[in-house]
Amino acid sequence: MIERFGLQVKTHENKMRLEDFLFDRFRTLSKLYLRNLVKSEKCEVNGRFENRGFKLRSNDFVEVELEPSRQNSMVPESIPLQIVYEDDDLIVVNKPVGMLVHPSHRDKSGTVLNALSYYLNRDPACPHIRPGLIHRLDKETSGLLVVAKNPRSHRKVATQFEMKSVEKKYLALVEGKLTRAEGVVEAPIGRYLEQKFWAVKEDGRPAITKFKVLRQLDDATLIELEPVTGRTNQLRIHCAEIGHPILGDVSRGGRPFSRLCLHSALISFRHPSTVSVVTFEMPADFGTAISAN
């Protein structure tokens, strides 16, 4: 049932963005739903329709029409997660292989966000925390994933991703032996609609990846990958493009393997509250592929 809510902006909410104010007041509702309410003029500030970035002032009066019982796609689920770091602003997890980061149209459960929705709200006496996804990892990619615990932290760290000031490094096991110790791959990436497949495409978006050889194995190479841009499947596509597909990436020429050998190993950025640089590292577990060589 649609209800109309009247909310007065408190002193500590002065200069808060309208969307952040709504996210904070209606924490069990999805961000997309709340943003659409603002876009479709279901929300007024002092009797006027404003955009989601509008800066509120103390004692402003916000009225919004919404369905408070609307189900959030992030249904809390008790799923074990490896927590690498946590404070009042952020939580960093080591995402396992085969786990989706967020619910999709086909998969509504079993994701990292389902697990975090449960973990962060174990105590019903505490304010509800909505996990805010800042960046993504493919289902078959493992490694470090940073999630915000409040809108302010989400916006500050997400801006760093947009400005490309975040340092990200991946580890990958690729086919064969690379002849160069390091290099740069520049190849545009686009989607072939009929095949529903992302690949190098002449009219695609520019994509750049740096690589460095870490260790030569008998029939594979352990490399470090640093994405300069962030296109869909970029690292997998660029490795295949230089003739060294990632082990387990069968669709791009890699041999069958127990997993996709791609891992988010390092991430570094400025903390949203302290502004100091924080760096997180997590070694890859590629099974017996490395230990056997």
pLDDT in tens, 214-232: 999 989 999 999 999 999 9
In this prediction, residue 26 carries a pLDDT of 85
Of the residues 37, 66, 95, the one at which a domain ends: 66
Closest by CA to 133, choosing from 107, 103, 109, is 103
88 is annotated as an active-site residue: no
Among 60, 138, 203, 218, which one carries the catalytic annotation? 138
Give the 3-state secondary structure of residue 234. Answer: helix
Q: What is the mean pLDDT of residues 230-252?
A: 95
Closest by CA to 18, choosing from 161, 155, 134, is 155
Q: What are phi and psi of 239, to 5 degrees?
A: -65, -45
Burial tier of 1 (Cβ tally within 10 Å: 0-12, 13-18, 19+) = exposed
Count structural domains, the chain: 3
For residue 284, is it within any domain?
A: no
Closest by CA to 242, choosing from 172, 142, 169, is 172
Note whether 102 and 29 are same-domain residues. no
Note whether 161 and 172 are same-domain residues. no
**Per-residue pLDDT tens digits for 81-112:** 999 999 999 999 999 999 999 887 677 789 99
Note whether 252 and 188 are same-domain residues. yes
What is the secondary structure of 186-203 as a DSSP string? E--EEEETTTTEEEE-TT
For residue 51, is it within any domain?
A: yes
Closest by CA to 269, choosing from 116, 120, 141, 162, is 162
Note whether 180 and 261 are same-domain residues. yes
Please state the pTM of the whole predicted model. Answer: 0.80
Rounded CA gap, 37 and 19, in Å?
10
In this prediction, residue 46 carries a pLDDT of 94
CATH number at residue 236: 3.30.2350.10
